[in-house]
Amino acid sequence: MRKFEEIVILTGAGISAESGLSTFRDAGGLWEKHRIEDVATPEAFARDPEGVQKFYNLRRRHLDEVAPNAAHRALARLEAESDSRVTIITQNVDDLHERAGSRNVLHMHGELKKARCLECGRASRWEDDIEPTSACPACGAAGRLRPHVVWFGEIPLELDRIDRLLGACDLFVSIGTSGAVYPAAGFVSQVRALGRAHTVELNLEPSAGSHFFHEARYGPAGTIVPLFVEELLTGR
């Protein structure tokens, strides 16, 4: 294994599956039980704010019942022990990377444990249910909080930083994502177009963009991610 200086890791729902969080598009996933149009668009929130809050309140509560798995812990170990700069770009709204010890994490689709105020625009830490009368910790406005997540048709977060990271990396690793949702699904081709980074897919099965990667390993993240991290750290 060659030595890398700037490692960028894109993660998706598959990395949290073995912790007990549902993915979206697998059999039994969230989009089998809920229609995207009912829970994951700004129009759904405008039409049925209570139904949408309920969907996210339940998922926020569920976070307290799960724990990081071996894949999250391996990525935290990589950041702590490697000489390379390691950045995780996660599409996940859970906090399992942080709870495993990762520090350099960008949440491009937001965070379940934050609420955003429609009045002042600030995102504040939020542990409990968002109620119809909940007040914004920043400006005090009542009944104006929404989940701090990125719905379909909204612009993902941190895109300028992500663009710079993709341009600078010499290793790009994609873990546990189906490659169905843009712009994240296009990151690997963006990196490949620059021609300087090695690209690796770690997933249960080939993703929609699997042919873009130089290398792929398939299996449960809790098994294949620790092995891959061990290779990176030992150079073997």
Active-site annotation, residues: 109
Q: By CB under 6 A, name the one of 19, 87, 91, 174 that touches ligand BJW.
A: 91
Quick one: 28 or 235, whose CB is closer to ligand BJW?
A: 28
Alpha-carbon gap, residue 21 to 12, rounded angstroms: 11
Q: Kindly state the smallest distance separating residue 24's Cβ from ligand BJW, in Å.
A: 3
Quick one: 141 or 186, whose CB is closer to ligand BJW?
A: 186
Which range binds ligand BJW by CB under 6 A, 21-29, 137-145, 160-168, 190-198? 21-29
Contact 118, 146 (CB under 8 A): yes
User: Which residues neighbour 122 within 8 Å (Cβ) at sequence distance 6 or greater?
Assistant: 116, 136, 138, 139
Q: By CB under 6 A, name the one of 7, 40, 63, 169 that touches ligand BJW.
A: 40
Q: Kindly state the smallest distance separating residue 105's Cβ from ligand BJW, in Å.
A: 14
Contact 18, 222 (CB under 8 A): yes
Quick one: 57 or 85, whose CB is closer to ligand BJW?
A: 57
Alpha-carbon gap, residue 71 to 203, rounded angstroms: 11
Residue 179 C-beta-side C-alpha neighbours within 13 Å: 20
Quick one: 85 or 217, whose CB is closer to ligand BJW?
A: 217
Q: Is 153 helix (H, G, I), strand (E, B) or coil?
A: coil
Which range binds ligand BJW by CB under 6 A, 96-104, 127-135, 146-154, 165-173? 146-154
Conformational region of residue 119, where left means phi above 0, alpha means psi within -120 to 50, and beta covers everything else? alpha
Number of other residues whose CB lies within 10 A of the CB of residue 223: 14
Which range binds ligand BJW by CB under 6 A, 74-82, 118-126, 130-138, 173-181? 173-181
The one-letter code for the residue type at 145 is L
Does a cis peptide bond (omega within 30 degrees of 0) precede residue 220?
Answer: no
**Position closest to ligand BJW via CB:** 14
Residues that bind ligand BJW (CB under 6 A): 12-14, 17-18, 23-26, 29, 40, 91, 93, 109, 149-156, 159, 176-178, 180-183, 203-205, 207, 220-221
